[in-house]
Amino acid sequence: MSTKLNVIDADAHVIEQPATWSFIEEADRKYQPMIVKYDSGEEKLGALGNVQKEFWVVEGRIQAKENNLGIDNTSRESREMVDVGARLKHMDELNIDVQVLYPTLWLRPITLSMRGEFALCRSYNRWLAEIWKKGDGRLLWVMQPPLYSPINELRKEMEWAKDNGCCGIFMRGLECERRLSDPYFHEFYAIAEELDLMMGIHSGNGAFGIHDFYGDEAGFNKFKLACVGAVHDLLMTGTPAMFPKLRWGFIELSAQWVPYLLNDLELRFKRRGTRFSKDIMKENNLYVACQVTDDFDAILQHMSSDNLVIGTDYGHHDTSTQIEALRMIREDGKVAANIVDDILGDNAARLYGL
């Protein structure tokens, strides 16, 4: 059966749960994250004021598990994919044909261990593949790449994921304590281009030093600005032009920053005597996930509407979450109907290679 592609949720999430790690091989069980429960001391509250009762422990580090849950508009069974049918039913209610699934735990750095990273990535990817098999073609996913692994092992994992419902690769604004323009990633990008897997650069941070420096700040600096800075750096270094068929998606950042960033780039390009194109985003296959609160009049003066997508941030509760976003952008009249249709369908289909 063919799946409709009229409405594509370009940013939905899964909430990891114990079954996520059930594919870790016996020899690597020591890397399996465990759940610890709050018993005493200062309470930590989640985004909705909920007391966080459970936390992940990964290689001795405490990580949030219940900080950013959409407990007001999604069920646990749906968020954690305990019941894939419940997720599909809720998508029907929201008039969503396809969701592209992003992780939650990996929005922050979790390991520096090559073997530990591989074990966690491998298990996560197989959990998502099982979800895809049950999703009737409606639950696609971005893979978690083991970036510390040798390139041949990384390639094998990418090829396996591609054969099992993966339509992109999850990245954060910083990875492996490096900028995304670092030559360390070039061979990896070349493989992604060959396999037709997009780079899904989601609000997040994969560098412990910078993540920990910002501590418990709201996430604007360590997550969102890390990714906006990555766009600037990638274009300044000409990295996307090295991989002309590779598509890049910048997810859960809104698009409000685009005019500021392009204005700054134009000034810098002129200062060094480099041509600056008014279509630099489109020419470099850069897509941005907008929000319903964005100033579209300003944004569309600086980039083509062909390179905008939108997501619900399903499963979370933060400033980017709008479970009804795909309905709202169609109904609020801020954007022409034909552009809305492209944002909801064709643009996301191109980005994810559907």
Hey, is 311 helix, strand or coil? coil
Q: Residue 339: how many CB atoms within 10 A of its CB?
A: 17
Structure-token match 């509250």, residue found: 45
Radius of gyration over alpha carbons of the chain, in Å?
19
CB 17 within 8 A of CB 116: no
The CB density around residue 350, as the number of other CB atoms within 10 Å, is 17
- Exposed/middle/buried for residue 42 (C-beta within 10 Å: 0-12, 13-18, 19+): exposed
Give the best-scoring range by mean pLDDT among 64-68, 72-76, 257-261.
257-261
Of residues 206, 211, 231, the one with CA closest to residue 221: 211
Residue range 168-182: mean pLDDT, rounded: 97
SS3 of residue 92 by DSSP:
helix
Quick one: pLDDT at residue 39? 80
pLDDT, mean over the chain: 92
The model's pLDDT over 282-329, given as tens digits with 9 standing for 90+, comes to 999 999 999 999 999 999 999 999 999 999 999 887 766 677 778 888
Could you give the percent of the chain with pLDDT greater than 70? 98
DSSP characters over 144-169:
---TTS-HHHHHHHHHHHHTTTEEEE
Question: Residue 327: its pLDDT value, please?
Answer: 81
Q: How confident is the model at residue 79 (pLDDT cuts 50, 70, 90)?
A: very high
- List the chain domain ranges: 8-14+75-351
CATH superfamily of this structure's domain 8-14+75-351: Metal-dependent hydrolases (3.20.20.140)
Residue 197 has φ and ψ, to the nearest 5°, of -110, 120
Q: What is the pLDDT of residues 231-287, one digit of tens each?
A: 999 999 999 999 999 999 999 999 999 999 999 999 999 999 999 999 999 999 999
Do residues 250 and 231 lie in contact, with contact meaning Cβ atoms separated by under 8 Å? yes
Instruction: List helix spans (H) across the chain.
Output: 76-79, 84-93, 114-134, 151-162, 186-195, 208-214, 226-237, 239-242, 258-271, 280-283, 296-299, 325-331, 337-341, 347-351
Q: What is the pLDDT of residue 1?
A: 39
pTM of the model: 0.94
CA distance 60 to 41: 19
Tokens at 266, concatenated: 């134009």
> What is the structure's pLDDT at 332?
80
How many angstroms separate the CA atoms of 164 and 166, rounded? 6
Which has the closest alpha carbon to 248: 261, 268, 232?
232
Using CB atoms within 10 A of its CB, is residue 60 exposed (0-12), middle (13-18) or buried (19+)?
exposed
First to last CA, the chain: 15
Q: Nearest 5°: phi and psi at 58?
A: -125, 115
Q: Is 293 helix (H, G, I), strand (E, B) or coil?
A: coil
Percent of the chain exceeding pLDDT 90 equals: 75
Where do we find the tokens 């992604």? 192
Cβ(130)–Cβ(166) under 8 Å? no
- pLDDT higher than threshold 80 for residue 346: yes
List pLDDT tens digits, range 184-227: 999 999 999 999 999 999 999 999 999 999 888 888 889 899 99
